[in-house]
A and B are shown apart, each in its own frame.
Chain A
Amino acid sequence: MIELQAAVSGALNGSLFALMALGLSLAWGFLKVINLAHFAMILTAGYLTFELATSTGLSPIATIVATVPLMFVVGALIQLGYERFGVSELNSLLISYGLLIITVQVVTNIWTADFQRLPTEINPYASESVAVGSLRFPMPTLLAAGFAVILVVTSALVLERTYAGRALQAFGQDREIASAFGIDHRLLGVLLAGAAGASAAIAGMLFPIGGTLTPDLPFEWIGQVFAIVILGGIGNVTGTLYAGLLVGAISGLVAVIWTPSTSPFVVFSLVVLALVFRPKGLFPQKGG
């Protein structure tokens, strides 16, 4: 029973990682940009949520009114910069690494390197939980899972059903041909990067709800999030969600079967194996 609880809780945690991976995966697949600055946006959004909620007394969820538009603009501006300088895939990794380092240090300088936690009167979710049969789920992970599912399903629908989504798919497959058919790749790319930024804002909002903030969180996320991006298939949004749930469940199980400290080791080892044997992801898309 404890194993089941661990696996399901792990999967729910994994969905939060899938939410972080979503924007990265879209930008990598469709814009050919590996944007480590995505983690910088999540971190910044997390701290802004913390700051806004504590200073105004608003519910942390309500802060997305401010953080989502802000991160949309930030994401779009970064993409404009990549476009302007014609940054290649590998170079985007390096440049955004620089942006991430800068952000982490700026956040440290403003909010210090100490743990920051929302007071319980502002963040009632932290102590709530929902019981399903004999299983108990903390409210923050349920919220994370809910947002992750909503965003993934929305993105999948937008990609499948709308003109912009199909244009993006065409662009991801062959930039030159797509441009020749009149697809305005700059506008689309900037919009997509903005949307990825907006998703970063939502992911960022979930961290102070669920626990504490420290400036070096991004370095704890990077490995697992990229694992999910690659396992899910680069640019494959539903694959990202499945991979997040899978990695989360495995990590939760390992933590109860052995010890919590073995779980990153096992997860990373599995990821390395998967990278080596399934570099195109665990869930190949139709026709791909």
Chain B
Amino acid sequence: MRQKGWLALVGIAVALVALPAVRHATEFPMFYLIFLSGILFWAAQSTSWNILSGYSGYFSFGQGAFFGVGVYAMAILFGRQGMSWWVAALAAGLASMLLGLAIGTIAFRLRSLRGEIFALLTLAIPFILASLARLSKAIDGGQGIVIPVPEAPSFLSQFQEFVFVVSGLVALFALSVAYVMQRTRYGWALFSIRDDEDVAEGLGVPTFFHKMIAIGITGLIAGISGAVAALQLGFVSVEGTFNLDVPLFVIVMSVLGGRGHWAGPMVGAVYVYTLQNRLASGGFEGWSLIVLGAILVLVMLLAPQGLMAGFRRRPWLSAGIFIVVFLGLWLLGIMSDPVTALALALGVTAIIAFIPGGEKRRMSPPVGAGEPPEHHAPVGDEMADVMAEARRPLLVAEDVVKTFGGVRALRGVSMTVHVGELVGLVGPNGSGKTTLVNLISGAFPPTSGNISLDGTGIVGYRPHRVAHLGIARTYQIPRPFTSLTVRDNVAMAIMFGRDPLGLDASRRAATEYLDLVGLAGRADAFPGEINLHQRQLLEMARAIATRPSLLLLDEALAGLNPVEIDNAVEVVRRIRRSGVSIVLVEHLLRVVNQLATRIVVLDQGLELAEGEPAVVMRDPAVIKAYLGRQADATGD
């Protein structure tokens, strides 16, 4: 997988360098070089779009803005000011990156800004830039700008060869960045944001930072690529730059090729550009947008994973059929025009990709039996140490109040968790248990009051900082990253935990946490393939993989059958023995009585009682508020 990716990139690089030379030798028509330059341009643009919108799921209609800033930076700096073309191209990339960062600073800071609103916001940005460019004489003023032909290096005898090589370098840069991201924490952070941003943040992923990196890179690549396109065009105008072609094409290309894989947008670019080219040369210009729109609708409805997912299921078959059909049609002289042969070969191969079935490929390759790294070594029975530390307060919540609009969910709750304790947090529905968990984990700030961990105040910290300080949580309804395997869900938590590891080391280290919860056997399954009990165990494994000092279990046993409950109770015991203090929010009194060293009872946002389980459960006020008459106060 790793080798294949690099192989593909090196192959593109070699082809790039060799092609102008081959053209001199064989004298094939310049048209093919122009055709390939077009594909390279769109591969760069769609890959750039995909890093933000495919990887992180923040869908953008604003690709035209990044492209346009690149185009105009080149037009002004090189065309008007006479700067050297490559300095202008780099400056164009930087300008566009700055635009991306500016958009991100505004849009990503607001947690209420949902993906849909972000998408519509990006729809407006090219319009703003277009009217700015039209108004300002310093930019365009409505006249357009002429760009002279740059002086190409001497070994490239023709302008088109120069454009080809430069477009190729930009595309190669874009693909390499996308590839490296997919293999490292930078891509994985974005995948986790796409799957469930809140959970990612809670596991320690600094989501704002990673979204900013994504939008910055998207801008950088789109800007440089736009600058090169401006060189090729020779004349730029507002109407020709900020129109809807760029956003439409990158979206269709990425959706068709596949948004989850670095090579998907490139594959889509080859398909869409070839198809457009054939439609135009066949006199069907009027159909080109209809075909694009239809591709978008059909792929989204029927095969949202895109072509790349299909190719990866049958890599050799797809490649073989493509090569045989293409060379067969071309070399045997059935098709005199190689682009038509290419279009037909692509079409036939696409049919293969969309046939379901075939070998199922996992995101994660089999993991070797490498030694887990030292600092993630399994934690043994350290109860002795823990007991020595006992009575040292770990979590202190003081007079915590939380109101939602007019509703007072918590009306002044104080609570202390000591090192090594397992505190049961109980109370009727609506008593404020989950609100308290959300406040402690930093999901939102309290209206007033103080919360500290190990003496450090955590109020106002973003959830990922709270996670890095040592608080982990699980969700009542498990929220795994659905596109990642069980192992990779846990690896994710290690990669962004308090002692972050690389991807491969994290995958190896994940095994021990899966062992601890008894889920190692399902490590390569996807969350959709395991049952509720196993998903709840996965929640716990993922939480302890952040190596917390305090674990908040929010109804981690809800909906389980008795056998599963016994198993889960055993897992919680094991987690506690490994030295983690626990707050257990739970409805099942049998479980709380078995596990908890102490119980805190909440009722209507206030603490009703606190103390040893046996004592608290006999408290008449508790029985009245929480248990009603029929319940057996002492459990079983």
Binding site for B on A (CB under 8 A): 34, 85, 87, 89-91, 93-95, 97-102, 104-106, 108-109, 219, 222-223, 226-227, 230, 261-262, 264-265, 268-269, 271-272, 275-276, 279-280
Contact = CB atoms under 8 A, between A and B. Distances in A.
A265 B131 CA distance: 6
Contacts of A34: 116, 120
A226 B120 contact: yes
A94 B59 contact: yes
A226 B119 CA distance: 11
* Chain A interface SS verdict (over half): helix
Interface of B: 57, 59, 61, 106-107, 110, 112-117, 119-121, 123-125, 127-128, 131-132, 134-135, 244, 248, 251-252, 255, 286-290, 292-297, 300-301, 304
Contacts of B132: 265
19 contacts: A85-B301, A90-B57, A90-B59, A94-B251, A94-B255, A94-B296, A95-B297, A97-B251, A102-B290, A219-B244, A226-B120, A230-B117, A261-B135, A265-B131, A268-B124, A272-B121, A272-B124, A279-B110, A279-B112
Contact of B131 (A90, A91, A100, A264): A264
Contacts of A262: 131, 135
B127 A105 contact: no
B33 to A, nearest CB: 30
Contact of A101 (B59, B61, B128, B248): B248
A271 B120 CA distance: 11
A277 to B, nearest CB: 8
A94 B80 CA distance: 38
B123 A223 contact: yes
Given A93-B116, A98-B294, A101-B296, A276 B106 contact: yes
B293 A98 contact: yes
A261 B59 contact: no
Contact of A264 (B127, B287, B288): B127
B296 A95 contact: yes
* Chain B interface SS verdict (over half): helix
Contact of A276 (B110, B289, B290): B110
Contacts of A99: 293, 297
B559 to A, nearest CB: 16
A99 B289 CA distance: 10
B68 to A, nearest CB: 15
Contact of A91 (B286, B292, B304): B304
Contact of B293 (A90, A102, A265): A102
A217 to B, nearest CB: 13
B293 A275 contact: no
B286 A105 contact: yes
A73 B121 CA distance: 31
A101 B289 CA distance: 6
A177 B210 CA distance: 36
A242 B286 CA distance: 40
Given A98-B294, A102-B293, A93 B119 contact: yes
A93 B304 CA distance: 14
Contacts of B113: 275-276, 279
A230 B296 CA distance: 26
A120 to B, nearest CB: 31
A140 to B, nearest CB: 25
Nearest to B134: A261
A268 B135 contact: no
A102 B287 CA distance: 9
Contacts of B293: 97-102, 105
Given A90-B59, A105-B293, A265 B110 contact: no
Contacts of A222: 123
B69 to A, nearest CB: 16
A268 B129 CA distance: 10
A34 B114 CA distance: 13
A99 to B, nearest CB: 6
A273 B93 CA distance: 26
Nearest to B135: A261
Given A268-B127, A272-B124, 18 more contacts: A85-B301, A90-B115, A94-B59, A94-B255, A95-B300, A97-B248, A101-B292, A102-B289, A102-B294, A109-B286, A230-B117, A261-B131, A262-B131, A262-B135, A268-B124, A268-B128, A272-B121, A279-B117
A41 B294 CA distance: 17
B296 A275 contact: no
B290 A105 contact: yes
Contacts of B120: 34, 226, 230, 275
B100 to A, nearest CB: 15
A91 B294 CA distance: 15
A66 to B, nearest CB: 25
A93 B59 contact: yes
A265 B135 contact: yes
Tell me which of B57, B125, B292, B293 has the highest count of chain A C-beta atoms within 10 A of its own C-beta: B293
A151 to B, nearest CB: 23
Nearest to A288: B405
A106 B288 CA distance: 11
A125 B113 CA distance: 43
A226 to B, nearest CB: 5
Nearest to B286: A109
B53 to A, nearest CB: 10
A274 to B, nearest CB: 11
Contacts of B128: 264-265, 268-269, 272
A106 B121 contact: no
A268 B117 CA distance: 14
Contacts of B124: 223, 226-227, 268, 271-272
Nearest to B113: A279
A230 B118 CA distance: 12
Nearest to B61: A97
Nearest to A229: B120
A93 B297 CA distance: 10
A226 B123 contact: yes
Tell me which of B61, B114, B132, B301 has the highest count of chain A C-beta atoms within 10 A of its own C-beta: B301
B289 A94 contact: no
A66 B300 CA distance: 32
Nearest to B103: A272
A250 B255 CA distance: 38
A94 B300 contact: yes
B22 to A, nearest CB: 38
> Nearest 3 A-B pairs (CB), nearest first?
A98-B296, A102-B293, A101-B293
Contacts of B107: 276
A109 B112 CA distance: 42
Contacts of A102: 289-290, 293-294, 297
Tell me which of A85, A94, A226, A276 has the highest count of chain B C-beta atoms within 10 A of its own C-beta: A94
B20 to A, nearest CB: 36
A262 B293 CA distance: 32
A223 B107 CA distance: 17
A100 B293 CA distance: 8
Contacts of A227: 124
Given A90-B59, A91-B304, A101-B296, A275 B117 contact: yes
Contacts of A223: 123-124, 127
Contacts of A100: 293
Contacts of A261: 131, 134-135
